Structure 1
């Protein structure tokens, strides 16, 4: 097992885990949760996918980990108080998606990854980033996976407030981040594993099940008994020992990506 490689790619912090031989191999890119684990390094420790013969490059989300303002989450909390959808949820997904092409180019320049299709993984709000990349980018993807993901942004907004004052702009934003409605596009792009904790927020759990149904034969569900929303213990910023439930999710991801790399 080789040591993680840390660096930045076009300004985006990353933690990269090499394949066993350290040589040229396919690439899997991940975006972490904003719950624990809430940094690229912590996400890499929770879901290392050591059994996959690929480079796993865990990207940092905006204003998280090394990009936290003054080393605290106060700036993020201020955005939530300002407007949970437009200032926080949408902003994070938009910025992470927009910075991805340059980050991918930089990763390819720094690491011996091949130039073929990539894999994508996202947890929670990072899942919305992975789904948006899958649905809306021109980057070829051989397989994707999401874990307790923000499949419908309207459901995530409901976790913050049940009385959000939608207007024309925010309605267009939230509808554009409804990936059940975009399941046809996702299915055309790549097979998708949807990992859902049975104890996740009920709205997110229901959306995950609907997404799998809408994907048809291109979707697969991994339902994890006992798993709530987070994948690590608080505070979830620094790497921590893998929990038993995270180990179960990790094993599912390893099996999924090994199958599709072999194919």
Structure 2
């Protein structure tokens, strides 16, 4: 396993067990909740048994690029959409092509089938990469997914006892990140959503169900799996360093591998 950086992005790379340069490539972005770094996410969701290149990029404003708790919280409180979720999502999508070019060249990764995976905010990035046509992904697994920003902001406002006033600028960000509304832009990419049974219904479970239904109406393979006794996170706090996967994370990993193996023709 490699843990370095390219194009200014820290990442973890796990080579395929077969050693094939043309093995499928899976790009997987972590949560802003635990596990909240690329190294912690690679440990929590190792995609065990999947013979593929596994690339775990670090999100902007996370891990090595975290600006410090005081600065981060001040910016998030001041403007959680433009300074927080919107910025993280936009920058992560934009920096992927440069990252992939450098990683492929450095490690001899040949062109082959590609899939994307993401947790929470990372799922929003994975979906954004697909609908933005940054990658031609055969499959996407979206875990505890941030599919619609507005109900997530409502949830955060309730949790922190604050009001959020939407502006034309933040409304535009919410429209861009609305993967349910943008369902037709997924094209032929197969999608599996995985949501914890204890997660928030309005912010996470209901949008996942709506995305599944809309994709199915378009003739795209899509499903939704609910993991009992799991909340939003995939690891114990603080979720910064690699740790043994929780029981729920192991279940999510198995569901992810099963779906990707079939879509990447590794089953």
TM-score normalised per structure 2 = 0.92
Which residue pairs with 1:260 in the alignment?
Answer: 263
Instruction: Pick which of 46-55 and 169-178 moved more.
Output: 169-178
In structure 2, runs of 5+ residues without a counterpart are none
Aligned pairs (5 A) from 1:100-249: 100-161=96-157, 163-186=163-186, 188-203=187-202, 204-216=204-216, 217-249=220-252
Instruction: Pick which of 74-83 and 94-103 moved more.
Output: 74-83
State which of 89, 94, 98 in structure 2 corresponds to 1:98. 94
Q: What displacement does 1:195 show?
A: 0.7
Q: What displacement does 1:168 show?
A: 1.7
Structure 2 SS opposite 1:222: strand
Q: What displacement does 1:138 show?
A: 3.9
Instruction: Find the aligned partners of 2:135 and 2:16 in 1 and give their Cα distance.
Output: 22
Instruction: Pick which of 162-171 and 192-201 moved more.
Output: 162-171
State which of 29, 32, 35 in structure 1 corresponds to 2:33. 35
Q: What displacement does 1:190 show?
A: 0.6
Q: What displacement does 1:242 show?
A: 0.5
Which residue pairs with 2:3 in the alignment?
Answer: 6
Instruction: Find the aligned partners of 1:8 and 1:80 in 2 and give their Cα distance.
Output: 26
Deviation per CA, 1:100-136, whole angstroms, max 9, x where unpaired? 1101111111223221231111100111111100001
Contact 1:199 1:229 in 2 (8 A): yes
Structure 2 SS opposite 1:161: helix
Which residue pairs with 1:52 in the alignment?
Answer: 50
Contact 2:113 2:137 in 1 (8 A): yes
Q: What displacement does 1:21 show?
A: 2.8
Contact 1:134 1:189 in 2 (8 A): no
Instruction: Find the aligned partners of 2:103 and 2:188 in 1 and give their Cα distance.
Output: 22
* Aligned alpha-carbon RMSD (Å): 1.4
Deviation per CA, 1:21-52, whole angstroms, max 9, x where unpaired? 33312210011000000000000000000211
Instruction: Find the aligned partners of 1:83 and 1:189 in 2 and give their Cα distance.
Output: 35
Which residue pairs with 1:75 in the alignment?
Answer: 71
Contact 2:97 2:134 in 1 (8 A): no
- Change in CA separation of 1:222 and 1:87 when aligned onto 2, cut-off 3 Å: same
Q: What displacement does 1:184 show?
A: 1.3
Contact 1:123 1:148 in 2 (8 A): yes
Number of corresponding residues:
257
TM-score normalised per structure 1 = 0.94
